[in-house]
Amino acid sequence: MRPEIGKLLLDMREATDAIHDFVAGKSLTDFTHDALLRSAIYFQFVIVGESLASASLPG
């Protein structure tokens, strides 16, 4: 395993933990009416996607 894979996995874990924290106690209505919440969640998903893409690259 490449050494940076551990860092990428940690980034993904921290991002998904943040998403979990952001949505705790929120309803779909809260989500649809709160642009800041949507942006924060979107950004964390970007981190997950970028980390996953980097982890998938060869070598």
- Tens-digit pLDDT profile for residues 35-50: 999 999 999 999 999 9
CA distance 22 to 38: 9
Q: How confident is the model at residue 55 (pLDDT cuts 50, 70, 90)?
A: confident
Q: How confident is the model at residue 57 (pLDDT cuts 50, 70, 90)?
A: confident
User: What's the predicted TM-score (pTM) here?
Assistant: 0.87
Domains of the chain, residue spans: 3-56
pLDDT > 90? residue 58: no
Choose among 56, 57, 18, 25: nearest CA to 40.
18
Per DSSP, 57 falls in state S
CA 34 → CA 19, 37, 57, distances in Å?
14, 5, 35
